[in-house]
Amino acid sequence: MNLLGNIIWLIFGGLIVFIEYMVAGFVLCVTIIGIPFGVQCFKIGILSLAPFGQEVREVPGNTGCLSTIFNIIWIVVGGIWIALTHLVFGVLLAITIIGLPFARQHFKLMSLSFTPFGKEIV
């Protein structure tokens, strides 16, 4: 069932979202300061390629204050807009019964795209 969901996800926009995150990650990795943020774009992009069957968890242990600072910078610079985009698509898909599984995946991407530092994909 996860394979079928991932295939439908790719056909209806998942591949485009993956490419956008990868391009943003490469652009951010051009500068030394942007490398940590580019790595997070790659992480979100890989999840957006095949979100069914994967989950987002907090990294076990102490992540330190650096991840908190990076999350604040991420939110201020653009993370809030990315999360709001996933929220809007999730709400629109949740209106229909057929779109509920895809809305759930957008909500999963929203939680990761809002604060990606200190989280892992399992």
Kindly give the parts of the chain with pLDDT less than 50.
none
Single out the residue of 112, 113, 114, 109 nearest to residue 58, CA to CA.
112
pLDDT score for 31: 92
pLDDT score for 34: 94
pLDDT in tens, 33-67: 999 999 999 999 999 999 999 999 998 887 788 99
pLDDT score for 63: 78
Looking at 8-121, which runs of residues are DSSP E strands? 56-58, 119-121
Helix (H, G, I), strand (E, B) or coil at 72: helix
pLDDT score for 62: 76
pLDDT score for 60: 86
- Note if the pTM is more than 0.75: yes
Helix (H, G, I), strand (E, B) or coil at 83: helix
- Spatial distance between the Cα atoms of 62 and 28, rounded to a whole number of angstroms: 26
Long-range CB contacts (within 8 A, 24+) of 12-16: 12/102, 14/48, 14/49, 14/50, 14/51, 15/49
